[in-house]
Amino acid sequence: MKKNNLKLLINFALIILFTGCEDEKAIKQNNAIIETISVTTSNVNQSFFYYDIVNQSEIDSSGNWHLALETKGTYNMPSIIFEGVYVAEYLDILFDDMIELPSTFMQDYIQDNQQFEYEGENEILTYDISSHTVSVKNPDHIYVIYEPVGHTTYKVQFIEYLSGILVFSFSQFSNDEL
């Protein structure tokens, strides 16, 4: 009898262990986001950075990249560059609260990705002439990126830029049907 009670107690503990320890974020978001990836770039002052968001890897400029950090212009200002993707900017939602592709994405995306580069209307990195520093202009903004070759969609948040190094996070939407 005691042996059966012990087996029952062990089985009950194992059930709780495997079902009770689910990721709170996945429960909260109903598995709409696969996972959040954080990326810290190399120093743009030493070499440009190119990122393949689909394969989650840094590559060289000759590969199929979607997001880059380069210096541009007369003063070699750091700039975020998007290649081969559609990008929309969202101001009124938190990264963790955006759990699905916005239904208005096709109306929201910006036709000219150069708008996100330095001195563009929607520049991501900005230069403060008074302190002579570059920073992320709006670190609370979320950028939704649609990659048309693989028909995948991601949310991206640019968190910090410091001394040539950029930190950003992104997640793929599981419901990326446009």
**2 versus 19: which is more confidently predicted?**
2
Confidence of residue 111 (pLDDT cuts 50, 70, 90): very high
The structure's pTM equals 0.80
The mean predicted confidence, pLDDT, of the chain is: 85
Q: By the 8 A CB rule, do 70 and 78 touch?
A: yes
Q: Is the pLDDT of residue 123 over 70?
A: yes
Q: Hey, how many other C-beta atoms are within 10 angstroms of the C-beta on 27?
A: 9
**CA distance to 11, 83, 92, 132, per residue, from 107 (Å):** 53, 19, 16, 36
Question: 56-94: per-residue pLDDT in tens?
Answer: 999 999 999 999 999 998 889 999 999 999 999 999 999
Q: Are strands 165-173 and 33-40 parallel, antiparallel or unpaired?
A: antiparallel
* Bridge partner list, 168: 39, 158
Cα 167 to chain centroid distance, Å, stands at 10
Mean pLDDT of 85-111: 95
Question: 8-28: per-residue pLDDT in tens?
Answer: 444 444 343 434 433 434 434
Mean pLDDT of 122-139: 96
